Amino acid sequence: MEEQNRDVAKRSKLYVVKGILKSRIVLIVALAAAAVTCFFVPPDAGYADYFDLDTLSCLFCTLAVVSALKRRRFFEWLAVKIVTAFGNMRRVTFALVFVTYFGSMIMANDMALITFLPLGWLVLSSCGKTKYTAFIFVMQNVAANLGGMLTPFGNPQNLYLYSFFDIGAGEFFAIMAVPFAVAFLLIAGTCFVVKPEPIVLQTHPEPAPPLWRTIVYFVLFALSVMIVFRVFPYYVGLIVVTVALLILEPKCFLRVDYGLLLTFCAFFVFSGNLARISAVRDWLASLVALSPLLVGTATCQVISNVPSAVLLSRFTADYRHLLIAVNIGGLGTPISSLASLITLGEYRKREPGKTLRYLGLFSLINFSYLAALIGSSYLSDLIF
């Protein structure tokens, strides 16, 4: 009996370790890639220049505020409101997809998905429509990647390029206006495939979260966003948000996704080191010169959009096409965007054993949108 108990305990530990490895596969790959490049570029003082502290500070503050809102069950309350207000499945689909689309403009695509994917699941489970989970999750993922491209803080790669090339806010919006408008039409058209079947709430209503806390947390969220616009130095926002949450909601820091922050740090090291390897630098410079749009989009499919932005920015002055490329390039393969991997992980957690079905739908929608957006970008160049 004692030996059986030891075997059970051993299997249980292996299961936990396996679960951790699966949930952190992106972080593990990022750390491994960064470690490999460290053999070619040994750590030195130059590593300090790799890290974009504005991006990391904004990311941390946003994660902390969202965690605080989750502790107050704000999103469960919002899910019930959505079901009762919109009345049928098509309207609910529009609500979930477009709250993610517009939310990503403010809180960044990764944060929008961390926030609204659980909301999507809560809405679907509260009205007994979990059969739509794959479609809703794919559309929320697409909406987060494409909605966030309109603002400098909407996607993490935007934060970096906006700062690296010192792009003006007006110019940034002008560059991204056409792909943003095309994306809006594509997403709206796709959501219409959902039938307007009636839905009924199947859970008890959630009590409203404390109003004053909710207001304070949204003010802190706004302060986090202001870091990107350089309204004040990043450390001011970081200190204010951290101190306020330590007083009001100290346990929220236990639920912050520090692995996501570490993943970004690893990506910064990986791309920074590659840019210092002369053979890689020369090859990439000649390649990007052919077409920043196509090369940028293709690179995203292999190493994701954030490291692509950091890496390729060192080899081209054509930030207009690079900016478009690393935004629409978040579509395509599941590894083209960290946001897509977040969505895949969330879906596997909610619907185990249905991953292949999800990936088939994901690929169909993503590559169709990607082709349409590349085509519209070239057409826009011809017209304007």
- Would you state the pLDDT for residue 201? 65
- Would you state the pLDDT for residue 16? 44
Secondary structure letter of residue 108 according to DSSP: -
Q: What average pLDDT does range 277-297 have in this prediction?
A: 84
Per-residue pLDDT tens over the stretch 172-193: 888 998 999 999 999 999 999 9
**If you average pLDDT over every residue of the chain, what do you get?**
82
Q: With bands split at pLDDT 50, 70 and 90, how would you rate the model's confidence at 140?
A: very high
Per-residue pLDDT tens over the stretch 141-151: 999 989 888 88
pLDDT score of 247 more than 60: yes
CA distance 112 to 105: 9
Q: Which residue has the tokens 């791309």?
A: 271
CA distance 292 to 296: 5
- Would you state the pLDDT for residue 78? 75
In the chain, pLDDT over 90 holds for what percent of residues?
22
Q: With bands split at pLDDT 50, 70 and 90, how would you rate the model's confidence at 84?
A: confident
CA distance 301 to 128: 35
Pair of tokens at residue 64? 């902390």
Q: With bands split at pLDDT 50, 70 and 90, how would you rate the model's confidence at 15?
A: very low
pLDDT score of 262 more than 60: yes
Residue 30's closest CA among 347, 272, 313?
272
Pair of tokens at residue 2? 């004692």
Cβ distance 113 to 140 under 8 Å? yes
Q: What average pLDDT does range 288-317 have in this prediction?
A: 84
Per-residue pLDDT tens over the stretch 335-371: 888 788 778 878 888 888 888 889 999 999 999 999 9
In the chain, pLDDT over 70 holds for what percent of residues?
90
Cβ distance 347 to 314 under 8 Å? no
Cβ distance 265 to 51 under 8 Å? yes
Q: Which of 29-38, 131-140, 207-216, 262-271 has the highest mean pLDDT?
A: 131-140
Pair of tokens at residue 141? 């993922």
SS3 per residue for 32-90: HHHHHHHHHCCCCHHHHHHCCHHHHHHHHHHHHHHHHHHHCCHHHHHHHHHHHHHCEHH
Q: With bands split at pLDDT 50, 70 and 90, how would you rate the model's confidence at 24?
A: low
pLDDT score of 246 more than 90: yes
CA distance 88 to 108: 28
Q: Which ranges in the chain belong to alpha helices (H)?
A: 2-23, 25-40, 53-71, 74-86, 89-107, 109-126, 133-147, 156-164, 169-191, 211-226, 234-248, 258-275, 278-290, 292-303, 305-312, 319-328, 338-350, 355-383
- Would you state the pLDDT for residue 328? 92
> What pTM, to 2 d.p., does this model score?
0.75
Cβ distance 158 to 327 under 8 Å? yes
